[in-house]
Amino acid sequence: MYARNELPIQASRENSFKRHHSARYYAHRVKESLTTRVSKLICAIFLALLFLTGLIFFILWLSLRPHRPRFHIHDFSIPAIAQPNGFENAQINYDVNARNANQAIGVYYDALEVTVKFEGQSVGGSSILFPFYQEPKNTTILAGTLSGASLNVTNQSWQKFLDSKSRETVGFQLDVTSSIRFKVSSWTSKRHRMHANCLIRVGSDGLILAADKDTRCPVYFS
């Protein structure tokens, strides 16, 4: 009698335990789901802020990234090449444009040196001893004449000029070197040693070829 009555009671207790267990289980699942969603939301916000910060820094870097000065050989001549006794009054005339193409960055130049080479050997040079500051979007003209003490052309090198002239052109290299600093607002960079190498050809008249006029010179730092 008692055994028969205990079966429904035991089944009822088991069903009640299962319902209680199920409610606790689902509450835990809901809590875990909310925690996961909150964590994902925080991660998404953090990644969005990180991406936005990176984008802002990238845009600032593009706008403030200093560009190298641009050098163009505007004119170059050795008129004495066209003269019979040109060696006696030889001189080299040059005209180089230095361009600061930056939007908001200025350039400080220290003492600037100009050297002319023929077949890798220096045939003249001079220094612009005074430093100068170049504003953004500004062009500075570097023009001068090498003669006398600033020109070290020998009879042998002059003869090489004439030999090359017989082949219609004479090739030269004009180097511009200086130490420069970039200026952004009140901040100034460290010094960079700059080199500009301009390859030039002159004709039998001693004047720069039209094809080489206003050509851009490669610029690099060391």
Higher pLDDT: 16 or 207? It is 207
Distance CA(115)–CA(151), nearest Å, equals 10
Note whether 101 and 46 are same-domain residues. Answer: no
Q: How many C-beta atoms lie closer than 10 Å to residue 205's C-beta?
A: 12
pLDDT value of residue 2: 46
5-14, 43-52, 131-140: the lowest-pLDDT one = 5-14
User: Could you tell me the pLDDT band of residue 47, with boundaries at 50, 70 and 90?
Assistant: confident
Q: Identify the domain containing residue 33 by its residue range.
A: 1-65
Structural domains in the chain (count): 2
Domain check: are 104 and 189 in the same one? Answer: yes
- Please determine, for residue 30, whether its predicted confidence score (pLDDT) is greater than 70: no
Alpha carbon distance 176, 168 (integer Å): 26
pLDDT at 24 over 50: yes
DSSP lists the bridge partners of residue 95 as: 75, 143
Q: First vs last Cα of the chain: how many Å apart?
A: 105
CA triple 203-144-108, angle to 5 deg:
125
Q: How far apart are CA 150 and CA 1, in angstroms?
A: 131
Q: Mark which of 65, 95, 120 sits at the end of a domain.
A: 65
The answer to which of 111-115, 154-158, 209-213 has the lowest mean pLDDT is: 154-158
Q: Do 169 and 150 share a structural domain?
A: yes
Query: Six-digit token pair at 188?
Result: 């100034």
Q: Are 36 and 21 in a shared domain?
A: yes
Where is the domain boundary, 18, 35, 65? 65
Q: Write the CA distances from 110 to 15, 35, 127, 137, 167, integer angstroms.
A: 92, 62, 11, 19, 39
